[in-house]
Copies of this chain bind each other. A is one copy, B any other.
Amino acid sequence: MVATTPKGEARRVALLDAVIRVLEAGGPGAVTHRSVAAEAGVPAAAATYYFAGIDDLLVSALRRVTEHQVALFAHLRGHSYARFAAVLYDWTHIERASAIAQYELLFLAMRRHTLRDAADLWYQALEEAIAVVQPDARRGRVIALAVDGLILRMLWRGDPATLPEIEAALRDIVGGR
């Protein structure tokens, strides 16, 4: 089902945002029609009215957070990697739910090839952002892998936790030996 009215569309995105919040708190298993609807402040039936199934709801939410994140990384073009550290900090600590959702997407992509494109989109955005500070493609790919690992580590460990620490870690990664 696709929303045609403005209010309907507003409810759609309210539901998708709610999915991200539920996802952060309880993981994919906690994403149910009822929990998401309650989080969004809409009746439970709305989740089934706007989305074909619980699966469609989850996939749509992950696509949405990816597009949002890709847009954020696109703004990074032309800036130094000091600003890159700030973006990483905001993402993994302020907008933590969004970051966690992003990596849940990668896990889902392991089992569902439908999500490969969305996952690729995110990874390409990361590589392009890195290309600003490291033009060499081969070296850039390695940095992208390390940054990926760094983000993952910040998410499950909460470390590095401060902006200076992240900058230092990024300096080690980009700086090479």
Instruction: Give A contacts to B, CB under 8 Å.
Output: 25-29, 100, 103-104, 106-111, 116, 119-120, 123, 138-139, 141-142, 144-150, 152-153, 155-157, 172-173, 176-177
Contacts of A110 in B (CB 8 A): 100, 155-156
Q: Which of B25, B123, B148, B156 interacts with A119 by CB under 8 Å? A: B156
Identical copies of this chain, number: 2
C-alpha gap A173/B139 in the complex (Å): 8
Select from chain B the residue with minimum beta-carbon distance to A103. B107
Kindly provide the distance from the CB of A153 to the nearest chain B CB, expressed in whole angstroms: 7
Rank and list the top 4 A-B pairs by shortest CB-CB distance, nearest first. Answer: A145-B149, A148-B149, A149-B149, A146-B146
C-alpha gap A41/B156 in the complex (Å): 34
Q: Which of A109, A142, A148 has the most CB of B within 10 A?
A: A142
Q: Which of B109, B153, B172, B176 interacts with A177 by CB under 8 Å? A: B176
Select from chain B the residue with minimum beta-carbon distance to A144. B149
Q: Are A145 and B157 in contact (CB under 8 A)?
A: no
Contacts of A146 in B (CB 8 A): 142, 145-146, 149, 173
Q: Are A145 and B156 in contact (CB under 8 A)?
A: no
C-alpha gap A35/B144 in the complex (Å): 38
Q: Are B150 and A111 in contact (CB under 8 A)?
A: no
Q: Are A177 and B111 in contact (CB under 8 A)?
A: no
What are 11 of the A-B contact pairs (CB < 8 Å)? Answer: A25-B111, A27-B108, A100-B110, A110-B155, A123-B153, A139-B172, A139-B177, A145-B173, A148-B153, A149-B149, A177-B177
Q: Are A106 and B172 in contact (CB under 8 A)?
A: no
Q: Which of B111, B147, B155, B156 interacts with A149 by CB under 8 Å? A: B147
